[in-house]
Chains A and B, each alone.
Chain A
Amino acid sequence: QQKVQQSPESLIVPEGGMASLNCTSSDRNVDYFWWYRQHSGKSPKMLMSIFSNGEKEEGRFTVHLNKASLHTSLHIRDSQPSDSALYLCAASMSNYNVLYFGSGTKLTVEP
């Protein structure tokens, strides 16, 4: 069973709209969450990370974390066509550098 589950599998939003992506871990040992973005034909690149309960904002991107439910979400406001990519959520444990990746959400932003 995969440790990390993402939803939805794919998402289409209009340019300027809000995209919301979800991620949950089934392993209570994880305590750090990561969001990576992978454009078509490219390798994954870290977008944001979070380990404290609450919210973290960087420009148009906001990440939420609820540690009790091991649920994280990524919100992209004012979505741009350049945001179209595969968004991968990953979780890790204290003092162990392995990332457990979900299957990803494919985001398409339509002009």
Chain B
Amino acid sequence: DAGVTQTPRHEVAEKGQTIILKCEPVSGHNDLFWYRQTKIQGLELLSYFRSKSLMEDGGAFKDRFKAEMLNSSFSTLKIQPTEPKDSAVYLCASSPDWGVNYAEQFFGPGTRLTVL
């Protein structure tokens, strides 16, 4: 059974560029999450989708970050325009529907973004 996949694994961008990160959740999972991880801030929630509906959009990240679920098996995270402080690892996770009771989140391998 395939896990969460993310592409690309590494991305280098110039300040001001637009980048798009991609995520495919585990087949059949209805919940999808985007996180950003840095050593200083730890894991921060960027967005949460349930059955393709946006449930949370991570407040502080609204202005330049936009996550979308194009269908139940594909999501993108767009950062526009990028800034050096966006350098981090971006993690995508998915989990089964809440009806499964307190569902575990499964994380993808992450995309390491470096903004110059």
Taking beta carbons and an 8 Å cutoff, which residues of A are in contact with B? 32, 34, 42-46, 49, 51, 88, 92, 95-99, 101-104
Contact = CB atoms under 8 A, between A and B. Distances in A.
Interface stretch (B10-18, B42-50, B78-86): B42-50
A97 B42 contact: no
A51 B107 CA distance: 21
B61 interface: no
If over half of B's interface residues share one DSSP class (helix, strand or loop), that class is named, otherwise mixed; here it is strand
8 contacts: A43-B108, A45-B107, A88-B42, A88-B43, A92-B102, A97-B98, A99-B105, A103-B42
Contacts of B45: 98
A88 B50 CA distance: 24
Q: Which of the listed residues A42, A44, A49, A51 has the most CB atoms from chain B within 10 Å of its own CB? A: A44
Nearest to B56: A98
Q: Which 6 residue pairs across A and B have the least CB separation, nearest first?
A: A43-B107, A101-B43, A103-B42, A46-B104, A32-B102, A97-B31
